[in-house]
Copies of this chain bind each other. A is one copy, B any other.
Amino acid sequence: MLFPIMSVPDRYILTITCPDTTGLVAAVAGYLRDQACFIDESSQFGDPATMRFFMRAVFTRSAKSPGIDAIKANFANIAAPFEMKWEIISANIKPKVLIAVSKFGHCLNDLLHRWHTGQLAIDVVGVVSNHDDMRSLVAWHGIPYHFLPVTADTKAKQEQQVLKLVEDTKADLTVLARYMQVLSPDACQALSGRCINIHHSFLPSFKGARPYQQAFERGVKIIGATAHYVTSSLDEGPIIEQAVERVDHTQGVADMVAVGRDLENVVLARAVRYHAERRVLLNGTKTVVF
């Protein structure tokens, strides 16, 4: 079973990144056993290219286990000699998510529907947009809508407002759900590792503007969508998920846009879920997705 949709009391997610060496799994699994914790799910990966080790474990406390604070505190002793970057969080904590959107609302509608029906374990704290079009949809879901229009002159200032919103809402994750404003390098830096974008092409093909137009002109036989973490290099951040669909010569740009919408929905929703379930670990410019 993947991550349980229903919440289980006392279930936790442990994530680890560190240099690869002998005894890592033994140390972690041994520690959890000694705390009388049951491992529900565990994945690990040693990258021979970077010699880095990655691990994600989902475990449940038992009646014999110490309190979670003690489990966390003592894990530091395990982590230190291995130089682990690690985190233990409750599997029941839903990350606070701010969604940014412009005029195309399909990804927004899809994310909100999944959230609304309990399929996506996130806590949507708001929707921000440079247009007012999605206000009614968002209002129906009972979520605050922040209309922050932007012009060439106000671009820098509006971005500051968006960043302030991230801060005010305490958003753990910002999702660019077809938000058509390129973030400044500073904003990318500020949201590093906690901002996911959906790009409507099979990256690295067709970066930048109008990717379906580019795909049409190149005459590709398959189109795609890519969810990635935002970095200051446009459309070059670590890829989390991709999906593709076949097209043919009869399909014009509008047809590709229509096919692409379904890809964008699915790819972005998966990436948000993987991130929310702590499945994504950064490995340089790439990702490990457990």
Contact = CB atoms under 8 A, between A and B. Distances in A.
Interface of A: 1-2, 4-5, 22-27, 29-30, 32-34, 36-49, 62, 105-106, 109-110, 113, 117, 119, 136-137, 140, 202-206, 216-222, 224, 238-244, 246, 248-252, 254-255, 258, 261-262, 265-266, 269, 283, 285-289
Nearest to A20: B38
* Pairs A-B, 3 closest by C-beta atoms: A219-B286, A26-B29, A1-B252
A289 B219 contact: no
B62 A252 contact: no
A34 B26 CA distance: 9
Contacts of A33: 22-23, 26-27
Give the copy number: 4
A242 B187 CA distance: 37
Nearest to A136: B140
Contacts of A30: 26, 29-30
A223 to B, nearest CB: 10
Contact of A62 (B22, B40, B106, B221): B22
Given A2-B252, A22-B39, A30-B30, 11 more contacts: A1-B250, A1-B255, A2-B255, A26-B29, A49-B252, A137-B140, A202-B202, A219-B239, A222-B244, A249-B286, A249-B289
Nearest to A228: B219
A3 to B, nearest CB: 9
A45 B101 CA distance: 37
Contacts of A25: 25, 29, 39, 42
A289 B137 CA distance: 34
Contacts of A38: 22
A34 B25 CA distance: 12
A129 B222 CA distance: 31
